[in-house]
Structure 1
Amino acid sequence: MNTADRTPADLLRSALVADPARPLLTYYDDATGERVELSAATLSNWVAKTANLLQDELSLSRGDRLALLLPAHWQTAVWLLAAAATGVVAEIGGDPAAADLAVCGPDALEAAAACPGERIALSLRPLGARFPQPPAGFTDYAVVVPGQADTFAAYDPPGPDDPALRVGGRELTGGEIVERARADAAERGLGPGKRLMSHAGYDSWAGLCAGLYAPLAAGASLVLCRNADRLGEAEREARRLSERVTHFAD
């Protein structure tokens, strides 16, 4: 945790500097049995590749709009942080018809097709695999992202006063995200070495903060669980113990 951090991109850089090898985001999908563990270095690599895709291949820049039609997922976290690094404003569940780019999972292809700009689809299959059959009118994220550069430098870096996120009808700047995330982390008692498990969705600020920004702002780590309602209480408790969870959000 670095008190000088002013944007979400700064938070990720600080996590990378503090300990690149430590597990930063662990993801479970209890509908598929998937478990993915991303270190700070691995998450930063995915974010850099995605930011380069936005900036260089899609020619998006500060102030452009991204309709993000994805669930709580490790790849959604990547897109949120990549958008923040480029200055692209990510709107959770935004109107694709009013966006410069729509990014969606397999359940939102029909809605995302209304975007007049570029359209990116994610299969959300384990390990970020490709679609078995690429959806018509969309670029498959898993096909285009591996070839992007592993480091990123914004041509027009966003500052803390630039809009970065729209969720639940409210727009937040990068600085407001960091400020609110720090406040939430302090209220929860999060700090370096702590580990938060979140079952919350990404369709609200509360879910986004618990499931990404607060742990990042606190120098903590995250266990993000999707479809956890399929687990019994004994299975949930076993996971909490195995993942050494210290804090919980639902």
Structure 2
Amino acid sequence: MTAAMPLPGLLARLTADPGRPRLTWYGDDGERVELSGHVLDNWVTKTANLLVEEYQAGPLTRVLLDLPVHWRAVVWAMATWRVGACVVLPPAGRPDLVVTHEPARHVGEGTDVVAVALPALARHLEGELPAGVVDATSAVMTYGDVLTWMPEPSPSAPAVKVGEQLVAHAALEHWARSVLERHGECPPGGRLLVAVPADALEDGLGLALAVLLLGGSVVLCGPGIDAVARQRIARAELVVGQVVVAG
């Protein structure tokens, strides 16, 4: 099951080396967030529990990530894959659930909406939420640190929609590695700086997943960070290389 459904095995490896940095975020505003293997697994586990307990997410559930390139987007994608559901990106027709930092854009669509505040220290989304929208910024922390009941996995179920193509969970690792090969490389266990445009979440998710599956660590930079700042970050974070996707 681990080979066909890569997320359970990946999370197990993260917790086997719990203190090692696995996902580091540099925001355009100077914010730096570092998630160790333990912390990343904890975020993914809590979010997966929310998806299952509140929205019965599982195979064939389409979760629209209407988010910019961000560490929280990586967490929500990994949680979606952990429950066996499918990540879709805008525009995506009518998904089963929308995860967004701008919930007002999805009012009246007839779909469940989850709001996510992006700042690391935020405890709720600023402003008044539209009726029926759940603020996951605070809600996700109330869910268990251990996975509760998870749906029966289906390796043939879609894991991500790439353009008009659906990539199955059994092919998720191959897809992620192909994204990495298209833009650069990372040695097994390496620490890689990744920078992609704000609207290139597909590339950002694929690169992050590929590096993590290689046993590595990701330094994810916001799209507004320029080349000079990236060089400074690369030196400070001791990365083995950079993958910068042009806008």
TM-score (norm 1): 0.86
Provide the C-alpha distance between the structure 2 equivalents of 1:179 and 1:43, rounded to a whole number of angstroms. 22
The 4+ residue runs of structure 1 with deviation greater than 4 A are 183-189
Provide the C-alpha distance between the structure 2 equivalents of 1:24 and 1:160, rounded to a whole number of angstroms. 26
Counterpart for residue 175 of structure 1: 170
Counterpart for residue 203 of structure 2: 206
User: SS state of the match for residue 113, structure 2?
Assistant: strand
Counterpart for residue 146 of structure 1: 141
- Which is worse superposed, 10-19 or 121-130? 10-19
Provide the C-alpha distance between the structure 2 equivalents of 1:45 and 1:102, rounded to a whole number of angstroms. 22
User: SS state of the match for residue 157, structure 1?
Assistant: coil
Deviations 1:35-64 (A, max 9, x none): 100011101111111111110122222211
Counterpart for residue 99 of structure 1: 95
The answer to whether 1:156 aligns with 2:182 is: no
Deviations 1:148-199 (A, max 9, x none): 0011144323233221111333211112121233455578442343111111
Counterpart for residue 243 of structure 2: 249
Counterpart for residue 12 of structure 1: 10
User: Is this contact kept in 2: 1:60–1:88, CA < 8 A?
Assistant: yes
> Gapped runs of 5+ residues in structure 1?
none
1:196 aligned residue (189, 192, 200): 192
The answer to whether 1:25 aligns with 2:23 is: yes
Question: What is the Cα deviation at residue 136 of structure 1?
Answer: 1.5
1:225-244 matches, within 5 Å, as 225-229=221-225, 231=226, 233-244=227-238
Matched positions, count: 240
Deviations 1:92-143 (A, max 9, x none): 1243x6111111113xx33322432311111212334312334213211112
Q: Which amino acid aligns with 2:40?
A: L
2:104 aligned residue (99, 110, 118): 110
- Which is worse superposed, 147-156 or 77-86? 147-156
1:51 aligned residue (43, 48, 51): 48
What is the root-mean-square deviation in Å for CA atoms of aligned residues? 2.2
Deviations 1:21-40 (A, max 9, x none): 1000000111x221100011
- Describe the shift of the 1:6–1:134 C-alpha distance in structure 2 as closer, same or farther (beyond 3 A): farther
Q: Which amino acid aligns with 2:100?
A: C
Q: Which amino acid aligns with 1:241?
A: R
User: SS state of the match for residue 6, structure 1?
Assistant: coil
Q: Which amino acid aligns with 2:64?
A: A
Provide the C-alpha distance between the structure 1 equivalents of 2:14 and 2:22, rounded to a whole number of angstroms. 9
TM-score (norm 2): 0.87
Question: What is the Cα deviation at residue 222 of structure 1?
Answer: 0.1
User: Is this contact kept in 2: 1:103–1:112, CA < 8 A?
Assistant: no
User: Is this contact kept in 2: 1:25–1:223, CA < 8 A?
Assistant: yes
Counterpart for residue 37 of structure 2: 40
Q: Which amino acid aligns with 1:178?
A: E
Provide the C-alpha distance between the structure 1 equivalents of 2:181 and 2:126, rounded to a whole number of angstroms. 44
User: Is this contact kept in 2: 1:85–1:154, CA < 8 A?
Assistant: no
Provide the C-alpha distance between the structure 1 equivalents of 2:204 and 2:243, rounded to a whole number of angstroms. 8
- Which is worse superposed, 156-165 or 217-226? 156-165
2:82 aligned residue (72, 82, 85): 85
Deviations 1:199-249 (A, max 9, x none): 114636433322x111012111000111334x3x43221111001111211
User: Is this contact kept in 1: 2:24–2:34, CA < 8 A?
Assistant: yes
1:166 aligned residue (145, 161, 168): 161
- Describe the shift of the 1:247–1:88 C-alpha distance in structure 2 as closer, same or farther (beyond 3 A): same
Question: What is the Cα deviation at residue 145 of structure 1?
Answer: 0.7
